[in-house]
Structure 1
Amino acid sequence: MLKACWRNFLYILNHKLNVLVECWKEGLYIQGITHDISKFSPKEFFPYAKKFFSDGELSAEDEMIWKYAWLHHQNKNKHHAEYWVVDPQNKTALPMPRKYLIEMVCDWRSFSRKWGRKVKQSKLDLTDKLVLHPDSKRELELIMLRKREEDKLM
């Protein structure tokens, strides 16, 4: 388990660096620094390490613990659309402040980076899969369009 924890720690650092690079470009300095800080909490850190970095198969109990960790993560981090959902059955959500929409896009874009290197053309866009307030969906589509245009210029 020690090896899994170390690998998870390195993964989190890499992810945070990549999000920081993206957030910095957007002027979201504090969010870039504090992004996903909850991943270091024991409630998230150990279940994530076990799920993604251990060699063995997860028991049903371990899988359930990881699902609680994922739910905890979504409910502690405002850049996750799920944080703003008030009624999942009726697909009702509160409007997301623009800074969290931008951080969410920075999060998505970070997955095409490795240790802060240049972002690759990314097709990751979960806009249609998320429960979003209509205003947030429109704003997110504009942010995604702007980022695609910026990528073309680079």
Structure 2
Amino acid sequence: MLKSCLKNLVYIIEHKINVLVECWKEGLYLQGITHDLSKFSPAEFLPYAIKFSTDREISANEELKWKYAWLHHQHKNKHHSDYWVVDPKNKQALPMPRKYLIEMVCDWQSFSRKWGKKVKNSQLDLTDHLILHPDTRRELRIIMNKSDVKCDENISSH
């Protein structure tokens, strides 16, 4: 278990550094520093470590605990589009403030930094996976068109 916790800690720190680099370019200094701090919380840290850093198949109970951790993460971090959803059944969301929208894009771009390549349209999916307010969807397309990541009709959250 200690090995899983250490692997998760290294992953979180590496991810935070990559997001910090992307946020810094956008002038989002505080958001770059505070990005994903909830991943260090007891509600998220251990379930994430068990889900992603163990060498064994996880139990149904551990999977359920991870799902709760993921839900906690989405509802504690404003850069996740799910934070702004008010009615998932009818796909209704509040407008997402621009700074969190940019942080979301920086989060996506951070994975490019980790894997050493650009995020491709095929890896992103705006249409089916993200529930966004229409104003947010329009603003996201504008941001994506101005960034290194090009937006088509396909963008997804991780």
Query: By the TM > 0.5 criterion, same fold?
Result: yes
Kept after mapping to 1: 8 A contact 2:118/2:149? no
Amino acid at match of 1:112: S
Partner secondary structure for residue 86 of structure 1: strand
2:97 matches 1:90: no
CA distance in structure 2 between the partners assigned to 1:26 and 1:84 by the alignment: 22
Structure 1 runs not aligned, ≥5 long: none
CA distance in structure 1 between the partners assigned to 2:96 and 2:146 by the alignment: 18
Give the alignment partner of residue 119 of structure 2, picking from 112, 117, 122.
122
Q: 1:113 corresponds to which residue?
A: 113
Q: Percent identity?
A: 67
Q: Under a length normalisation based on structure 1, what TM-score does the superposition of the two structures give?
A: 0.91
Amino acid at match of 1:11: Y
Q: Cα distance, 1:149 vs. partner?
A: 7.5
Give the 3 Å change call, closer, same or farther, for CA 28–141 of structure 1 in structure 2.
same
CA distance in structure 1 between the partners assigned to 2:107 and 2:13 by the alignment: 13
Kept after mapping to 2: 8 A contact 1:127/1:141? no
**Greater CA drift, 127-136 or 84-93:** 127-136
Q: 1:136 corresponds to which residue?
A: 136
Higher share of residues assigned helix:
1
Q: 1:103 corresponds to which residue?
A: 103
> Aligned pair count?
147
User: Deviations along 1:41-64, whole A, 9 cap, x unmatched?
Assistant: 011000000000011111110000
- RMSD, matched Cα: 1.5
Q: Under a length normalisation based on structure 2, what TM-score does the superposition of the two structures give?
A: 0.89
Partner secondary structure for residue 10 of structure 2: helix
Q: Cα distance, 1:127 vs. partner?
A: 2.3
